[in-house]
Amino acid sequence: MRYFSDSGGGATAPVIDPGVWTAILTWLGEAGVNLLTIAGIIVGAFIVSWVLRLVIRRIVNRIVSGAKSKANVDDTQALERSPLAAMRLVQRTRTLGSILQNIVNVAIVTIAILLTFNVLAPSALGSFALLSAAIGAGLGFGAQNIVKDVLNGIFIVAEDQVGIGDVVDLGLATGIVEYVSVRITHVRDVNGTLWYVRNGEITRIGNMSQGWSRVIIDLALPVDVEIDQVEKTMLATAKNLAKDPKWRTRVIEQPEVWGLESITGDALVIRLVMKTRANAKDDVARELRMRLKRAMDEMGVTLPSMNTVMLAGLEGAQRVRGANPPRTRPTPVATADGKGIWKPKRGGKAAPAPTASGGADAATSPDGSTTTPKKTDEESS
């Protein structure tokens, strides 16, 4: 700032240096450019996110619509009654679409934040990168289980290993899958307990709802039954079930009798198998058992009792006759120098030292009387 005086010698008036105005205008211009750049980054992030999410939704909706049109249904829930695998395709597509949308959102937000830091403080971006690397390394050790859960969940969904409504055995829990996410799978067991299983803890999956299932009936029969006649009756009963209009849509192949499965002294076990749809195994098995029971009753065959008592462990073994060790006589107490040993009674006092009147072989009993030990068999002889 400079000071100027008039020619008449009056007071001087402050005059602002033009360089200050130039600096202020330069700073305002740079700040405006930075603000416009940040605004452009934010708007661009929103636009890119909206476009990518729109593309993902379009793809998902097209796949879902194609599955519905092939199954000739209008509602997604109706696909559950369709014999096609369209329902699984819809579930998998929607889950993957949700995962892709989340990944897109996280990636765009991260890139927008980095670009904003680069605009505001270009020199601090290197320090921020080092700090973020250190934080990432710390989180990597602490959040490695979360990363493992997410990666495993993505592969489970992408490979269609598990779907909503499937009956699965995850090792940790067995039941019906109610929800599948990238980190946790919800399984409800037969007792109604809802299990939250982390995808990273799943090492094996047994899916009983994919493809087909096999009903296996082991029928125990008396040992004097006519095997050929019983097998024909069992096969005819199963074929009648497969031809029934109510059940024929659930049976894939004709039933088979695999023959005599085992022979015991109490019963003969004949195995009958039937290939069914995966979600109809239990219903078909119950109906087949009921029809087999009626067929055996019509033949006059009485099914034997297969209830046996299994004794296990030491407690069970001791209840079996002959399992306990034989009783033996107590081991005789050895004598010292061929002389008897006095044993005190229970609850009695210890024997005092022998007195001189009784000699070396005399001892005093607890009541005060002097007794002499009996001779052993060797001394008597």
Domain boundaries, the chain: 23-142, 167-207, 212-299
Question: Per residue in 89-130, pLDDT tens?
Answer: 777 777 778 778 888 888 898 888 888 877 877 776 666 667
Closest CA to 291 of 233, 364, 358: 233
Question: Which amino acid does the sequence have at 63?
Answer: I
Please, what CATH class does the domain formed by 167-207 belong to? mainly beta
- In the structure, what pLDDT confidence band is assigned to residue 145 with cuts at 50, 70 and 90? confident
DSSP state of 163: -
Task: Please compute Rg for the chain using Cα positions.
Answer: 45
Residue 278 has pLDDT above 60, yes or no: yes
CA distances from 250 to 121, 217, 245, 254, 255 (A): 68, 17, 10, 11, 12
DSSP states of 214-275: EEEEEEEE-TTS-HHHHHHHHHHHHHHHHHSTTTTTTB-S--EEEEEEEE-SS-EEEEEEEE
Closest CA to 278 of 166, 137, 151: 166
Question: Per residue in 68-99, pLDDT tens?
Answer: 666 555 554 444 444 446 666 777 777 778 77
User: What fold is seen in the domain 212-299?
Assistant: Alpha-Beta Plaits (3.30.70)
Structure tokens, 36: 């416009």
